[in-house]
Structure formats: C-alpha cells, structure tokens
A and B are shown apart, each in its own frame.
Chain A
C-alpha cells in the first residue's frame, strides 16, 4: 500500500469524524501556539536584555554608598562619595576614568505640561566612556561649567505613544522637586524650582532601565549639586576601567579600600544574572506550555481509542480484505501523525501571530510600555514542529497497536 493511499485513507477517516478530529486538532494547536509564542517572547526578551546592556560599555563599574536594609533594619550609608573618593579611585591601577554623578527624581515643566523625570548631574564630556553608542540628535552636550543647560533623552523630547514633542531645542523648561526642611525645628515641605534651557537632544539608544538615558534629563554635575543641594556629595561614581578583564581586579581594589562602605554594581554581571533568570523563567514557562501539549496528546489517545472502538467492525473487514496487522497499525498511526502535522502547522502560525500581535495588544490594554519584539528562530520553530508531531505519533502508538492486534473474527462479530 503506497504512502499516498495510506494518507488518503487516514485523512478520510479523520474527515468522517469531523467534530472530534477538529477538537483534537484544536488542542494540538493551542499547545503548539503556546510554546511558539512563549518561545518567541522569551527569545525576544533575551535579545532585548542583550541589546540594552550592550549600550553600556562593559568596562564600567558603578560605585554607590553602602548600607541599606540589613536584617530588617535600615543602615545609613557610613561613607560619603565626594571629590576625595574620586581622586582616590582615579589612582587605582587599571582605572581609566572616574565619573561622579548625582541622580534624583524631579518634575519637568514645559509650558502647561509636566512629566516626572530622572535628572542626572554628570560631566557630559565623559558620557561616551559609559555609552559608546550615544549620539546627539540636535544641539550640543552641556559643558561642566554650564549651570542652565539641559540635555534631554529621546523619550523626554517625544514621550512614548505621543506624536508631539514635549520639549524643543532652545526651549526654556522648569525643573522642580520637593524636599523636607526643618524650619525652627518643624519639618516643612519646600518646593525648589529652577529654569533650564534645552541645549541638546539625544538620539534613542535603548538603554537599560536602571540607567535609562532615553527617559532622563542631564545637567552639569555642578548644576545638579547646586539645584539639589548636595553639598559636594555624589549619589554614585562610575569607574571606567582600562579593559573589561580588569573589572574584577579594580572591584577588589575598591573593596580593599572601602570594604562594605560601598556597593559595586557591574552592568555586565547584572546582564548575565538577568539572562540567567530569564533563561530559568523561560524553561519554566515552556515546561508549562509543554504540559498543554501533553494534554493534547491525551486528547489524541482518547480520540483514536474511541475511533478504534467505533471502527472495530471496519478493522475486521479490512483484515478480511487482506490488510496486514502492520498496515492497520500504520493507518491509525497516520491519523495521529496527521492530527499532529495539521495541529503543529496551524499552531506555528497562530503562535507567531499571537506572539507578535496578541502580546502587544495586551500590553496596549494594560498601558505598559514594554518594547519587546518576539523573535522566532527557524531552528526553534522546526524543533517545536517536530516535537509536536513526535508527541502526536507517540500518542497514537497504543490505539494503533490495539487496532492492529484485534482478531478479525472477533472484530467482524462486533455490531
């Protein structure tokens, strides 16, 4: 019996039980599409993390004050980050440049509109050490001595989801922030305001969320120190090493000097850690999705087993007409494989469509801006397709074997 005839016979049998076959195929479609869309999203997420962290130079270390929550109690930073520390860090072997920064939240007012922004006070002549891909769209970087100039990120110029610019080059904007001050022993809320001129606008670079240059405004370090009243103390110091390989050595040297008084963050290490978490999470999610495929496999077993029961007499007739046990087995196995092939093929398309449009639609409804584009790698899609078809074939093995082993005389007697 040639393969075309086997396919035709099996397809006719599936078509004869349209509703049941369709529902079983639907189960396979759901399982496959879930795996495809989740796989695409997790690959997209991994790539997003890679690309965002790649905007940061790998040879950077961020030094922040130590302290924090320890055993349920807040410990105040025991050391101040100041110009003395900057000098000391500059002297460490392997350090290329040291860039202190001040990093606070404020409200940016542009005409009658306002938005919350992160304000970074930093020496912008050294920004290229941290963000090698950073480039100006318009205007210029703010010199260290400029007290009124402001550099804005692309998401501040035109906020996501909007078409009109929030700020324009040359526009005067106001930064304001609120602080609590003690006036004659009584705590009082004081709002500090200062006007700045937008002197530079950055191109979009896609930076990691914890130093998101795109949604940040940057002023000179001196302006930030004066505006936020920092008194010469910094929120953090970026240490740029001479090469990525020296990061560990420099980190150790800093720890030797300051011990637990400072915390050191390495963006590369964060990237690797996040990748590990995402990888583990992806495996978990895919395992859950694979369970839905196993449910579909049980559906195939049920469908085929019911079919074998209903078609017992037909199996007897086929045997009387000269079908061998192996041919009966192949006929039923082909039905399972057909369910798998149809379900997997449609499931791939549905999964890609859902991953591409469904996810962004859901994000749109929730109002979250999560710029992840699912990535569907052909080799992954092929593996998922083969996996689905293989599971379907395995699910069909037992019913097919039962069908092939039915005794012709017994099968023919069945009413």
Chain B
C-alpha cells in the first residue's frame, strides 16, 4: 500500500476521515486476536456511511479507532487530513471535543443533571461562554424535537428522546464527524427509523459526516454507503447515493 503523506495530510484534505492500513490486535497472554486488519477507508465530508457486519467483525473497534478513543496497533487515522497517530492524549482529547461527536447505543447521558446541561457539556470543556452555549444547546434541542424538555432529567424521557438528547450533545461543538455506535439498538423500529431520519437530515443540512455502526440493514439502506466488515476486514462496499 502506498501512503502519500503529501496528498493525505493537511487541512485541505477532501476526506473528513481516512484510514491507512488500520490494524488492531488484542493480545492476551500469548494469544493474539486480529480485530481489524489493514482497513483502508476514505469518507468524504457530509457523507452518511453505515458499517455493518456480524458480531465480532470489528465494527465497534473500527468506530473506536475512528473516534481516536483507542490507538491502532498499526496504521493511521487521519481526521480532516491530520494524522492522529503521533498525537498526545491531550491533543486527541481536543480532537474528540472539537471534531467528533459520539452517539452510543445506551445513550450514555449523565442522569443526575438536566437535559440542557448534558447537551452543554462538550461546549463547557471547549470553553464556550455560558450564554452562547446555552443558546446553542436550546437550538439543537429544538432541532431534535425536544423543545420544552430542557430542564427534565434524562431518566424521565423515553428511549427515543434520550437518544435525541445524545444527538444534540454530539452536535453542540459543530463537529465534522458524528460517530454512532448502534444508535437504534435500544429503540423500537419506528423510533429507530425516526432517529436515522434525523441523522440523515443532519448529514444533508449541516454537511456533517455521519458514520453509523448498525445491525439493521433496512436502516443502513437510508445511508449513502454501506461498508460490510467481516473478520476485521472490509468485505464489500455498496454505494447507495452519490
């Protein structure tokens, strides 16, 4: 694999996210498990991508590496053309805060505090002034259909509503990339469809790159491209929209 640093690195990269020979090996005692093997991906700005595959195929590992939550054993992850492999933990935290928004299957909201405060949190870390971040959080909650529920605690909301809060939280810092790990896994099919439609709309309207790991092929068909993973390798890709 030839990896041209000159074309891939730099702020003017045409890809929001890119992987080069991405490999992740888990070692336990003398056993090595290859979770991902030489994965090469190029995902454009504003693209809506679904990663599908059976359990243990490496979907979540790939998502964690794309979200710079984990370090690859080999290879590179480039965010907006910048290689993250040499970055310090502190720089990676900054990338996660400013460039990436996470959505989890179990919503992972902080239940002791309000919906508004949950949405605000990434902006608090970024140092956005209170007035501005509250305004932005309210706008996003309205956009995700949660107007009037700002001061509710997450556990008083339905699963679909909690996932909408998580989406609003993921968008608060205006990230380039949204990474969603089974975002509809805990929801009924109707609510799951609504959440996917919302992600679709965000991708189109805000030009945000959305990468979703899902088991649901029907929902995956709402995306622009489906990447099939098996045994840590890309088995196939299907482009649905350009």
Q: Mark B91-129, 1 if CB is under 8 A from A, else 0.
A: 001101110001010001010110000000110111100
Whether, in the assembled complex, B53 has its beta carbon less than 8 Å from a beta carbon of chain A, the answer is no
- How far apart are the CA atoms of A320 and B66 in the complex, in Å? 12
Q: Is the CB of B69 within 8 A of A322?
A: no
* Closest B residue to A321 using CB positions: B122
On whether A12 and B112 interact (CB within 8 A), knowing A319-B69, A321-B96, A408-B70, the answer reads yes
Whether, in the assembled complex, A13 has its beta carbon less than 8 Å from a beta carbon of chain B, the answer is yes
Whether, in the assembled complex, B46 has its beta carbon less than 8 Å from a beta carbon of chain A, the answer is no
Chain B binding surface, main DSSP class: helix
Whether, in the assembled complex, A327 has its beta carbon less than 8 Å from a beta carbon of chain B, the answer is yes
Which B residues are CB-close (under 8 A) to A16?
112
Q: From A321, A326, A409, give the contact of B64 (CB < 8 A).
A: A409
- How far apart are the CA atoms of A322 and B173 in the complex, in Å? 11
Q: Is the CB of A321 within 8 A of B169?
A: yes
Interface size on A, residues (CB 8 A): 25
Q: Is the CB of B93 within 8 A of A1?
A: no
Whether, in the assembled complex, B58 has its beta carbon less than 8 Å from a beta carbon of chain A, the answer is no
Which A residues are CB-close (under 8 A) to B121?
318, 321
On whether A320 and B112 interact (CB within 8 A), knowing A325-B90, A327-B125, the answer reads no
Q: Is the CB of B102 within 8 A of A320?
A: yes
Q: Mark A34-65, 1 if CB is under 8 A from B, else 0.
A: 00000000000000000000000000000000
Q: From A5, A321, A323, give the contact of B102 (CB < 8 A).
A: A321
Distance in angstroms from B204 CB to nearest chain A CB is: 25
Q: Is the CB of A319 within 8 A of B64?
A: no
A-B pair count, CB < 8 Å, reads: 63
Whether, in the assembled complex, B148 has its beta carbon less than 8 Å from a beta carbon of chain A, the answer is no
Q: Is the CB of A322 within 8 A of B70?
A: no
Whether, in the assembled complex, B160 has its beta carbon less than 8 Å from a beta carbon of chain A, the answer is no
Within 8 A of A (CB), among B157-215: 169, 173
Which A residues are CB-close (under 8 A) to B69?
319-320, 408-409, 412
Q: Mark A308-344, 1 if CB is under 8 A from B, else 0.
A: 0000011011111111111100000000000000000
Which B residues are CB-close (under 8 A) to A323?
93, 97, 125
Q: Is the CB of B70 within 8 A of A5?
A: no
Closest 3 A/B residue pairs (Cβ): A322-B97, A16-B112, A324-B93
Q: Which residues of B contact A (CB under 8 A)?
A: 64, 67, 69-70, 89-90, 93-94, 96-98, 102, 104, 108, 110, 112-113, 121-122, 124-127, 169, 173
Enumerate 28 A-B pairs (CB-CB under 8 Å) in ascending A order.
A2-B127, A15-B112, A314-B108, A317-B104, A317-B108, A317-B110, A319-B93, A320-B96, A321-B102, A321-B121, A321-B122, A321-B125, A322-B93, A322-B94, A322-B122, A322-B125, A322-B173, A323-B93, A323-B97, A324-B89, A324-B94, A325-B89, A325-B90, A325-B93, A327-B125, A408-B69, A409-B69, A412-B69
